[in-house]
Structure 1
Amino acid sequence: MTTTHRIPVLDVLRGTAILGTLGTNIWIFTDPRGPSGSLITDTAGVTETLLRTLSNGKFLALLTLLFGIGLELQYRSARRRGHRWPGWYLWRAVLLLAEGALHYLLIFEWDVLMAYALVSILVAGIVGRSDRAVRTCMAAAALLHLTLIGLLTLAGVDGGDTTGRYPSGYAEQVTGRIHDFWIYRSESILIIPLTVLLFLAGSRLLRAGVLTTDPAGTRLRRHLTITGLGVGVPLNLLTAFGGPRWFFVDRYVCAPLVALGLLAALTSLLMRTSGSPRLAAVGRTALSCYVLQNLICAILCYGWGLGLAGRFADLRPWWPPLAWAAVSALLITAAGWWLRRFDRGPLETAWHWAWRLPQRTPTPANP
């Protein structure tokens, strides 16, 4: 989406989701057991469990809902201009896949962009169909997702008891991502049905008026807030403190439910205020901030960087939230500074150029 005709509420929501995902990922980066430490679902202390629960899965689900809203906006734009759908949107997905692959290989094991790109190709073919067809697809995705999570929970599957370590060198870490590709891509594969569901939910919520001030939109947000926060939060706390056995339900069932409540509650709040220009700046440079926050954390925590994960292991669970606050403050400051000088974030600029490049290629004249 270009920087013109933006929806301010969406920018703030997107900025919130980006910094919220950092709130989850910071526990991965600061784990003294290494990148694979997040696969070990052992029981943490009460304080750490509560701190993790504040962000675990919720803001990733919120970001996924927002991606679905963005896809719907792209669909509307194409139809309004008389363009074929999905048309050039597929090229956008290819670029996102390439960006995600580089991000995974060079920076972060648990990249989400690759999954978004692949699922967006599938959902692009569904979003324009009838409401009945979309509801059927959403029901099928929800049923498949709940079945998978239910089977894993009943089987007592957890992350195992392997112990990791931070690689001593950058090249070693890159090699490890290649060697353990399917291990680190396991979450993205597992939540494909959930991602399809949330993409389509975001699209349909936009059509239902979740971002409007009319009575229907107000009622919708109120119902989502009551369900997502009034029901989802208590369930989320129960599963969070229920032990490793409930890991999958906690992260992949309760957290998305809470995300719906967050989307509605934050939107209602933003509509009654002047918004947050600082968070909006992060939202306008979401791709750049997402990659940059992971790069900064990698330099701070990994063994080939400052190695703070190992040095500050005894300061958990307090130092990860402090690291999150420091990196978030840096991103907010950097995003605002950048947008005062440029129209788009650096990666957004490169991405937009790459997206427009084949469309500018002149068609050879007929002989």
Structure 2
Amino acid sequence: MAPAARLERIDTLRGIAVFGILLVNVWAMVHGASSYRYGVQAAAAPLFDQLVILLTAAFAEAKFYPIFSFLFGAGFALQTRSLWRALGDWAGAKALYRRRLGWLLGCGLAHGFLVWFGDILAAYAVTGFLVLGLAGSRLRTVRTCLRWLLVGNLGLLFIVLLPTLGLDGADLRAEINLALADMATYTTGGWPEAFALRARDYAVSLFGMLFIVPELALLFLLGVMAVRLGYLTRPARHRAFWRKVQRIGLGVGLPVNLLWGFVALGDARAPQAAGAAGWAMAVALPWFGPLLAAGYVATVMLARRAGLARWLAPVGRMALSNYLMQSVLGVALLQGVGLGLGARLPYAGLFMYCLCVMALQAGWSHWWLARHAQGPVEALWRRHTMAGIGRRP
């Protein structure tokens, strides 16, 4: 398999992840940061509206940010090695990559406070700073860090899980009312109200980094390992490995995540009836979701036809530009500071909105990359990273 074809699969995965993230983020753009991601659905909601919640929760929620994180780690491995080859030493490569992460952190913070409280870029940057010392490390060192992160994430899961076991659905009225109020502010409020709520929600999100960064670091290092061992860069040599991942990821992940889809639908239709089992499953979703995500990745790695790659790879090459574009469109079209469509669109309408954005971004990505080497934001990112460097990798 030629190098360009190998990297095209990685870009295809990025494109899938960007579109999958949109399917999940659109709900928070409308409903805010409440734990009721899918809002409160009427008892007589149309069947298609119910299916949208079920399928989004089962097949998209907590499946695509793990893929994005995994690929961020893969990109880290590829880019730092490229910088090392160009500069001749790991210290220079790390310094240049640190500059790259600094730009990403600034972009993420601005994005989070000014546009979309659900920003993930700042968390990726922090994770990158934490694992940067592993650039060029021996595989044994990376494996050791992975083992410790696995143990730490399991411990963190139980710490977060235990308080949910005593929750009673009857005590959730205040949270439900707050969720409805937040939705009204985002979809009908003006700039001052929306900005204040966004700043509050993003501040809470930044605090939540304490819990998400360990998981991101685990996924990040799995991506590093996948590149170092050739699983991503030479998939044809590792088809047996990817078949095993596919069997486990789809065989175990599909039924468990389908169950989560029914739980999420039940919570949206009768939020006050939410029980401890549902809350416990929601807390454990960061483990169930990536399992199915691994099945998705394996399926792409095993695919022999290039049709999907030709359509999605340009979207993945412009992943950062497309991710930020989704946020800007969400504010302009769904929230009250723009057209406020989020207050009027039914659940099925939000799904159709996502499909329209995907079609727009696929066409735009193909058009842009036919004329430019990179996406617009990617070009700015590279320009900042390489500023003052005479020799570019």
TM-score tier by shorter-chain length is 0.7 to 0.9
- Once the two structures are superposed, residues 321-365 of structure 1 have per-residue CA deviations (whole angstroms, 9 ceiling, x without a partner) of 11110111111111111112222111112112111213259xxxx
- Once the two structures are superposed, residues 76-100 of structure 1 have per-residue CA deviations (whole angstroms, 9 ceiling, x without a partner) of 2133332324121100000110111
Contact 2:243 2:298 in 1 (8 A): yes
1:76 aligns with 2:89: no
Matched residue, 1:204: 225
- Once the two structures are superposed, residues 102-158 of structure 1 have per-residue CA deviations (whole angstroms, 9 ceiling, x without a partner) of 111221011000000010111121243232322221121122212222232232178
Matched residue, 1:10: 10
Matched residue, 1:237: 258
Deviation at 1:281, TM superposition (A): 1.2
Matched residue, 1:353: 383
Matched residue, 1:335: 365
Structure 1: runs of 5+ lacking an equivalent: 362-367
- Pick from 82, 98, 104: which aligns with 2:112? 104
TM-score, normalised with respect to structure 1 = 0.87
- Once the two structures are superposed, residues 232-287 of structure 1 have per-residue CA deviations (whole angstroms, 9 ceiling, x without a partner) of 2222223443433311212x111111112211111211x44355323111111111
- Once the two structures are superposed, residues 5-56 of structure 1 have per-residue CA deviations (whole angstroms, 9 ceiling, x without a partner) of 982111111111111110111122233xxx2335568786853233332210
User: What's the secondary structure of 2:164's corresponding residue?
Assistant: coil
Mapped to 2, the partners of 1:185 and 1:90 lie a distance apart of 20
Equivalence map 1:120-159=2 (5 Å): 120-156=128-164
Contact 1:41 1:247 in 2 (8 A): no
Equivalence map 1:195-274=2 (5 Å): 195-212=216-233, 216-242=237-263, 243-250=278-285, 252-269=286-303, 271-274=304-307
Mapped to 2, the partners of 1:358 and 1:39 lie a distance apart of 47
Matched residue, 1:49: 54
Over 3 Å counting, the alpha-carbon distance change for 1:321 and 1:225 in structure 2 is same
Deviation at 1:210, TM superposition (A): 1.5
One-letter amino acid matched to 1:263: V
Mapped to 1, the partners of 2:308 and 2:202 lie a distance apart of 40
Contact 1:65 1:201 in 2 (8 A): yes
Percent identity for Structure 1 against Structure 2:
31
One-letter amino acid matched to 1:36: A
Mapped to 1, the partners of 2:229 and 2:147 lie a distance apart of 18
TM-score, normalised with respect to structure 2 = 0.82
Deviation at 1:174, TM superposition (A): 2.6
Contact 1:208 1:217 in 2 (8 A): no
Equivalence map 1:274-289=2 (5 Å): 274-289=307-322
Deviation at 1:172, TM superposition (A): 3.3
One-letter amino acid matched to 1:76: R
Mapped to 2, the partners of 1:54 and 1:320 lie a distance apart of 16
- The two structures, once aligned, show a CA RMSD in angstroms of 2.5
User: What's the secondary structure of 1:166's corresponding residue?
Assistant: helix
Over 3 Å counting, the alpha-carbon distance change for 1:175 and 1:326 in structure 2 is same
Contact 2:7 2:233 in 1 (8 A): no
One-letter amino acid matched to 2:185: Y
Equivalence map 1:284-295=2 (5 Å): 284-295=317-328
Contact 2:27 2:37 in 1 (8 A): no
User: What's the secondary structure of 1:343's corresponding residue?
Assistant: coil
Structure 2: runs of 5+ lacking an equivalent: 44-49, 264-277
Mapped to 1, the partners of 2:22 and 2:213 lie a distance apart of 21
One-letter amino acid matched to 1:276: A
One-letter amino acid matched to 1:197: L
Matched residue, 2:46: none
Over 3 Å counting, the alpha-carbon distance change for 1:26 and 1:40 in structure 2 is closer
Matched residue, 1:90: 98
Mapped to 2, the partners of 1:187 and 1:13 lie a distance apart of 26
Over 3 Å counting, the alpha-carbon distance change for 1:25 and 1:54 in structure 2 is same
User: What's the secondary structure of 1:210's corresponding residue?
Assistant: coil
Deviation at 1:216, TM superposition (A): 4.7
Deviation at 1:304, TM superposition (A): 1.1
Over 3 Å counting, the alpha-carbon distance change for 1:338 and 1:143 in structure 2 is same
Contact 1:12 1:275 in 2 (8 A): yes
Structure richer in helix, relative to its length: 2
Contact 1:15 1:280 in 2 (8 A): yes
